[in-house]
Amino acid sequence: MLIAAPWLLHLFGSPYAALGGLFTVVLCMQWINGAGRPAIRLLSAYWHRRLIRNALCISAGVAILISLLATRRHGAYAAAIASLAGALLINGQAILGALRTSRTLAVADELRAV
């Protein structure tokens, strides 16, 4: 998609032809969301309410703050970067939480085996 982006955006006309950077930021955000999905599913499966709540609140708060502060000056780029920052935060926290959860599950399995 990234290779074909200039051509695809040019098909929509001149207002869209210059939005390759915006397309790249949004595509990166989608890739990060896809990469972090297994960690989010693991946390959801074991229902760690505190970890899930903290990840959602922190990432949403940062994304909203960036949007509020930067959208007037930078427009759609600020909104895309805010979404990217929120995705990085929620998926990063989910991955750390999933690693802790899997470590705890491994220890519990070892204790059961003894």
- What's the distance, Cα to Cα, between the start and end of the chain in Å? 51
pLDDT band of residue 42 (cuts 50, 70, 90) is confident
Evaluate whether residue 37 is within a structural domain: yes
User: Structural domain of residue 98, as residue ranges?
Assistant: 23-113
Domain count for the chain: 1
- Which CA distances in Å does 89 have to 32, 59, 77, 106? 10, 5, 18, 26
Evaluate whether residue 44 is within a structural domain: yes
Evaluate whether residue 13 is within a structural domain: no
CB 89 within 8 A of CB 37: no
Which tokens in the block code for residue 38? 């297994």
pTM of the model: 0.76
pLDDT tens, residue by residue, 6-18: 877 788 877 777 7
Q: Considering the chain, what is the average pLDDT of its residues?
A: 85
Evaluate whether residue 8 is within a structural domain: no
Evaluate whether residue 1 is within a structural domain: no
